[in-house]
Structure 1
Amino acid sequence: MKMIMDCSTSSSWTGPLVGIPRVEVELLHHLSQKCQVKPVVYDGSSSMWNWDAEDLIVSFGATWNYQGWLDVVETIKKNKMGRYVHLIHDLIPIKFPYLYEPRFDLNFANWLCRTVKAADLLLCPSESTRRDLCEFINENNLNRVRIETIRLGDVGFSNPKDSIATAGLSGEKYFLMVGTLEQRKNHQVIFDAIRILEKRHLLADFYLVVVGREGWLPNNLTQQLKEDEILKRRVRYFSNLNDLDMKRVVQEASFSVFPSIYEGWGLPVAESLALGVPVIAANNSSLLEIAPNLTTHVDSYNAMAWADAIAQWIQNPGVLNEKRNAVELTYIATPWERTADRIYELMREVIRG
């Protein structure tokens, strides 16, 4: 079996790998150890591709960003010269169009319709995304296609080492939020919770550490970090950390918070738990699937509830230690190799028909 794997998303990415580019790179690495993989970067044509009827064209990336990509896939399928597998990360642009630029939801929906029609197998990172996808297929009267849920890896950080970037955190007590600075990740509710806790004198000597590059329309968030007196005292912000620094920052956090409005999976939650760090997460979408018995869930939009949940762990270290012990003892981490094993098994089934 030869796999032609689209790597356009990660090849155009700059900075530390996060989100979809990280998934793409991890799966390229591990699948390459199981079969022949030819990585390709879409350049507007298919002239550099060589394939036959037994090949798989695979994408784990953001192909909606590459005009003409589906034209190539559809031509291949029309000529019966390959089979197509795609990982649908989420349907957030359709469910929450106001989080994106105008008309992006319409373009995304058109891309998704064409992807469903072209695919021999669609993968989803959660049951939540799978339900959303099935609902979309039904609403648009699309033909049924095989859909399988896979669990993404959460073990992939390298070993930590000292770094100038995070040296200022040494010995500090802090809780952590990882995520691109944009509306969907919902930093605002945590910033509001910080203000509540500061005014109630419940933060003690804790800080919030925020890690994430600037995303879609981050201006208000970055302005708050620069100008709000409470946030200037209580928040440490890092825009880009490599794997070495990231693992260290997660490991040394007392706990993590993840208030996202909606997630296809929520990798920062899983990666925190894999390193033994307790998490307070929003009570929506796939965030309810990752580790429901180990994660404390809070309404995404309720700043007071977030303040109360954070204060509960800051003010009661015994409770926090019990939660940390439970995470360390019972959370079962998922190596990326295991994710690749499952994908490889499914792809062999597609080839066998």
Structure 2
Amino acid sequence: MNKLPGGFGESMFRFLAVRREAAEASINGLREFRRAVRAWRSPAAQTLSLLENSRPQTDGVLFSQGDVYVSLGLDWDQKDLTFVAERKGLLGFKTIFCCYDLIPVKFPHLCVGDVAAKFARYFADLAWCADEIVSISECSKRDLLTLLEELGTPVPKTTVIKLGSHLPTSNNAGVSTQTKEASGDRFILFVSTIERRKNHETLYRAYTRLMDKGVKNLPNLVFVGMPGWGVNDFLADLRFDNRVKDLVKVLTNVSDADLNWLYKNTLFTVFPSLYEGWGLAVAESLAAGKFCLASNAASIPEVGGDLIEYLDPWDVQQWAERLEWYFDNPYALTQAEMRIRKEYDAPTWEDTAIAVFGRAQALLAS
């Protein structure tokens, strides 16, 4: 560029800079065109290469006939299901996978990036690979079956398992001073990643309505969770809105001891999420013997049964009214807690593991 006439080099640089993406796409397109021409002229060599690359390899595979490969991890963007399906066909082992939720497919606008298509493709591949898929709720199971029917894939056996929700015992010795000071003497608790789908904003708006109404002595509203995507403006509102900046507390990197203390000492918990595959925080609240005011969406009523109260997650006015009612009726909370402690039997993670291994044994016996 330095050797071009004065001013021309700079203009050319700007011209190319703003068209960099188009230029790269053109270059890649030319490369693909040349590859296609070579494949057209020499199809035999291209076919031989494909056959060599697709020849199944079983070296290093630890499973064989009579085994069950169980994958319960968050692996939708990491697992090579084609590889698993090939080895399964060659070696005769069986497979169990897990469906936590289909939120990116149902509500792509509530998820980071363009993951909806990838998520749907993952479950389509899973349907061809799985002998059984366990879901964490009846809601997730229904969502999965609906998706597989729409995609026209095979429908493997689907069952439901419950996630553990019991809380480990701890004492107050390990609780941080920061957590106690942020919570104050009276507080309600929302445990969740801070992201759009969890719907923290409904609680924020409900609190501002109560304050604008003139309600005094509101308890602190404690959010426990790491900030996710798309919430920078919301967190800024919490910092700069003078009505709530001293009432709404955000705690991150909370220890198990801190979390147990928060559950134990909260007036009650809240969970206004727009959609859940399960709703672990509701189950943990019940395991701690605490009442929850929760969203009526998706799987959440499966978690709480008739032990808690459900609200439309979008109805800010209803949330404001019911929050105020419970603030003014501690006896109702005491009665609800007594019933929860009497009737709620929190499943343990050991129970979850036993259920999964039970499914594996049943699969081998079928």
In the alignment, which residue of structure 2 is the partner of 1:92? 103
Distance 2:308 2:130 in 1: 35
Which residue is equivalent to 2:291?
Answer: 278
Q: Which of 321, 324, 331 is the aligned partner of 1:318?
A: 331
User: Partner residue of 1:154?
Assistant: 165
Q: In 1, distance between residues paired with 2:220 and 2:117?
A: 41
Q: What amino acid maps onto 1:143 in structure 2?
A: P
Residue 105 in structure 1 maps to residue 116 in structure 2: yes
Deviations 1:98-153, CA, capped at 9 Å, x for gaps:
11244310110001110121111100111111111111121112222110011111
1:152/1:46 Cα in 2 relative to 1: closer, same or farther (>3 Å)?
farther
Q: Kindly indicate which of the two structures has a greater share of residues assigned to helix.
A: 2
**Counterpart of 1:50?**
62
Whichever residue aligns with residue 163 of structure 1, its letter is: S
d(CA) in 2 for partners of 1:203, 1:55:
63
- Judge conservation of contact 1:193–1:307 (CA < 8 Å) in 2: yes
Between 249-258 and 212-221, the greater mean CA deviation after superposition: 212-221
- Tell me, yes or no, if structure 1 residue 122 matches structure 2 residue 129: no
Larger radius of gyration: 2
After alignment, is 188-197 or 154-163 more displaced? 154-163
Match of 2:309 among 268, 288, 296: 296
TM-score of the two chains, using structure 2 as the length reference = 0.80
Q: What does the per-residue CA deviation read over 1:191-228, in whole Å, with 9 as the maximum and x for residues that have no partner? A: 10110111223352411010010112221222122222
Alignment of 1:1-353 (within 5 A): 49-66=61-78, 68-161=79-172, 162-169=175-182, 172-202=185-215, 204-353=217-366
Aligned mates of 2:273, 2:61 — CA distance in 1: 39
Q: Offset at 1:78?
A: 2.7
Distance in 2 (alpha carbons) for counterparts of 1:241 and 1:206? 20
Deviation of the 1:75 alpha carbon: 2.3
| Rounded Cα–Cα distance in structure 1 between residues aligned with 2:227 and 2:284 | 21
Q: Which runs of 4+ in 1 moved over 4 A?
A: 45-49
Is residue 203–residue 311 contact of structure 1 (8 Å, CA) maintained in 2? Answer: no
Over the residues paired in the alignment, what is the CA RMSD in angstroms? 1.9
- Contact 1:176–1:208 (CA under 8 A) maintained in structure 2: yes
Match of 2:250, SS? strand
3-state secondary structure, aligned to 2:310: strand
> What TM-score does the superposition give when structure 1 sets the normalisation length?
0.83
SS class of match (2:354): helix
Task: Report the alpha carbon displacement of residue 158 of structure 1 after superposing the two structures with TM.
Answer: 4.0
Share of identical aligned residues, percent?
30
